[in-house]
Amino acid sequence: MIENITFIIAMEAEAMPLIDKFGLTEEAAFSPKLPMRAWKGKWQGINLTLVTNGKNKDTGLDLIGCEAAALATFQAVKEFQPQLLINAGTAGAFEENGARVGDVYLSRDRVVFHDHRVPIPGWDHQSEGHFPVWDTGQLRTLGFKYGIVTTGSSLDMPQEDEKNIRRLGGEIKDMEAAAVAWVALLHEVPVFCIKAVTDLVDSGKPTHDEFLRNLRLATNNLCDGCERIIRFLAQSPDIRLR
Ligand code: ADE
């Protein structure tokens, strides 16, 4: 039985529906020097914690991206010692694979960096990460879509990144998952991603416009998806963590 789960979420807009849904309350869990924020609660018998990357104090904007995600995950693992990490957020996906705005995907197999280009044998593969993710096949009956998540530090998709994503079999494009998975791997904590689609990266439309237009729809669907997963895990004593 899983008793202790931590969500790692980049943006507060992605996290707030979940904080409300699960009735979590904020805790001063980290050094005041750090921007990360944490919430805690119990829902359906599972101890839930949720950590966001926090905001830049000068701009007031969320600290999206790998650096903040890695630090948030490190702090979360140290403080809450979860049995399972869930990286929840929004992402881009490919229309040509049948993705639609608002779809909710679970990670499968591994997460990879698609913009770490180091053409030296050994470092090429290592730099891409290829971090394993938890076996979400156990959640099949919930009817989510599945995809390989690839991570980069930019919202757009220049040709070089697109080439890499295609080579890596990437289906979901985000800005945090591989960083979260790396820290999870170091601490031997199983991790998976749930990502709601804000934009179709092959639609020809500007990604930032699609992202902002569809953020509310995607975060609502993300919240519904997370609720269904926690309810399922709470009712599945035989779920395997390894
Ligand atoms: N988050 C939402 N949409 C994204 C995209 N297209 N690329 C990276 N991160 C995203």
**To which residue do tokens 């309810």 refer?**
231
pLDDT at 126: 98
Q: Is 156 a catalytic residue?
A: no
Tell whether 241 is covered by a domain. no
Q: Count Cβ atoms below 10 Å from residue 122 Cβ, excluding itself.
A: 8
Cα–Cα distance, 221 to 61 (Å, whole number): 23
Write out pLDDT tens, residues 125-175.
Answer: 999 999 999 999 999 999 999 999 999 999 999 999 999 999 999 999 999
Residue 137 lies in a domain: yes
Q: What is the pLDDT of residue 121?
A: 98
Q: Is 109 a catalytic residue?
A: no
Q: Is residue 211 part of a domain?
A: yes
Query: Number of folded domains in the chain?
Result: 1
User: Residue 5 in 3-state DSSP?
Assistant: strand
- Residue 23 sits in a domain of what CATH number? 3.40.50.1580
- DSSP annotation of 133: -
Q: What is the pLDDT of residues 46-81, one digit of tens each?
A: 999 999 999 999 999 999 999 999 999 999 999 999
Whether residue 242 has pLDDT greater than 90? no
Two tokens, residue 174: 């985000």
CA distance linking residue 73 with residue 77, whole number of Å: 6
- Site to probe by mutation for ligand 1, drawn from 62, 153, 155 as the one with most ligand atoms within 8 Å of Cβ, is 155
Q: Which of 90, 209, 215 to mutate to test the pocket of ligand 1 (most atoms within 8 A of CB)?
A: 90
Range of the domain at 122: 4-234
pLDDT at 202: 95
The verdict on residue 242 lying in a domain is no
Cα 42 off chain centre by: 21
